[in-house]
Amino acid sequence: MTGELAISGGTPIIPRPLPTYRDSSGRWLGEEEKQRLAQVIDSGCLSHLCGTQVAEFERRFAELIGCRLAVATNSGTSALHTAILYLNPEPGDEILVSPITDMGTVIPILSQLALPVFVDVDPVDQNMNPARIEEAISERTRALIVTHMHGSPADMDAVMDIARRHNLFVIEDCAQAQLATYKGRTVGTMGDLACFSFQQSKHLTTGDGGMVLANQDGLFGRNLRHCMDKGWPRERGGRDHLFLAPNYHMTELQAAVGLPQLPRLEAVIAARRESARNLDSQLQDVPAVHPLRIQPDRRETRFFYVLTLDLTQLSVDGAAVVAALVAEGLPCFLGYPGKVPLYKYPMIRDHQTFGSSGWPFTLPSARRRWNYTDALCPMAELACRESVVIWWSERLTADHMDQIAAAVRKVIGAYRR
């Protein structure tokens, strides 16, 4: 009944390519975006300096999430860098972060010569495990970046409680969780700063782009906007540069494409969630696979759809399962951010940073010399080996869910011990 696996020459069970975030098959972009874009081009002003789109995008995105202050940037990584520049850590200061997130969460820490201290994840949702935070805190810890991974809100009550007791600044990385909620509160409104990405794969996209949201400015003597604008207090008139900072401006073109997507965002994530919950229930009785569990007090957005494999019940490893699923027509990969957690990439493991200095890992002013050893975060390492990460889209239908469930059943059936 299931037939031979496609990877062994059988017929793929998914007959046509699934919608993908990479083209119009998987995205809701259209006439309004084209019209606004044309208006900007006709105006001849493509920059926030003379236009109105970036300012409007900032105002309306902040309103949608529920924050007072917004600064648009040209990527999620630059939004996070803006946040770290705002905090202005001393070289050698430490910032807690999950090893399961995009490298864009860590690059800004290293760029400011601070140290990422990796806190292991909770296998239930692959978010930073609050029970592991306190043992990672030292007298040099300044801040904590909490990523809402796969669109699943982290346990913010627990995170904020620890952060407040230890006087840590909290940055929420909401790149994968636009409009997700935790106990009714929108993700991005619970920490001190929130960072978003509008890169091609995100729920709302401007190709590349980002945003930093906050409720309070100037906490560390710096204005948030100056941190992405060459340290330039333009509002005072004239030219001045108060401190070292890059230029991370979003263009009017990006904002024009982002604005029409705002009213659709709720529907986009609702569609992604509905499909995902359909698949959750279809896979309930399939042995050896477990969809990530969403806590009942959270409303997730489903950035990726993650299936955890019980490898003890299978005759092959995770890579073989993924290869077989891909052959059946399901776009997926093993582990996020890849087969290994972030600290095993050469950038961090081999100290590939500033020339041959090894800074910040070897900084004399750091508390110790930083090396990231194999056993650092066992749960994260296991998650990378066991997770089938499926690309998701708001254009997936109930039919697609039947096809995906059939593909999973077919592959697991063939590889079951």
Ligand X SMILES: *Cc1c(COP(=O)(O)O)cnc(C)c1O
Contacting residues toward ligand X, per CB under 6 A: 75-77, 101-102, 104-105, 147, 173, 175-176, 197, 199, 208, 210
What token pair was written down for 143? 């801040």
Closer CB to ligand X, residue 101 or residue 282? 101
Residue with tokens 């073109």: 253
Closer CB to ligand X, residue 175 or residue 379? 175
Closer CB to ligand X, residue 21 or residue 415? 21
Question: Residue 274's closest CA among 150, 153, 183, 392?
Answer: 392
Closer CB to ligand X, residue 194 or residue 289? 194
Q: How far is the CB of 57 from ligand X (least distance, A)?
A: 15
Q: How far is the CB of 209 from ligand X (least distance, A)?
A: 7
Q: How far is the CB of 239 from ligand X (least distance, A)?
A: 29
Q: How far is the CB of 347 from ligand X (least distance, A)?
A: 15
Tell me, what DSSP letter sits at residue 320? Answer: H
Task: Return the amino acid letter for 332.
Answer: C
Q: How far is the CB of 304 from ligand X (least distance, A)?
A: 9
Q: How far is the CB of 77 from ligand X (least distance, A)?
A: 3
- C-alpha 267/C-alpha 25 separation (Å) is 17
Q: Which residue is nearest to ligand X (CB)?
A: 76
User: Residues 23-49, buried b or exposed e (16+ Cβ, 10 A)?
Assistant: eeebbbeeeebeebbeebeeeeebebe
Q: How far is the CB of 110 from ligand X (least distance, A)?
A: 14
Closer CB to ligand X, residue 100 or residue 324? 100
User: Residues 169-207, buried b or exposed e (16+ Cβ, 10 A)?
Assistant: bbbbbbbbbbbbbbeeebbbbbbbbbbbbbbebbbbbbe
- C-alpha 21/C-alpha 46 separation (Å) is 26
Task: Return the amino acid letter for 410.
Answer: K
Closer CB to ligand X, residue 80 or residue 283? 80
- C-alpha 330/C-alpha 326 separation (Å) is 5
Task: Count Cβ atoms within 10 A of the Cβ of residue 247 and give its class: 0-12 exposed, 13-18 middle, 19 or more buried.
Answer: exposed
Closer CB to ligand X, residue 105 or residue 282? 105
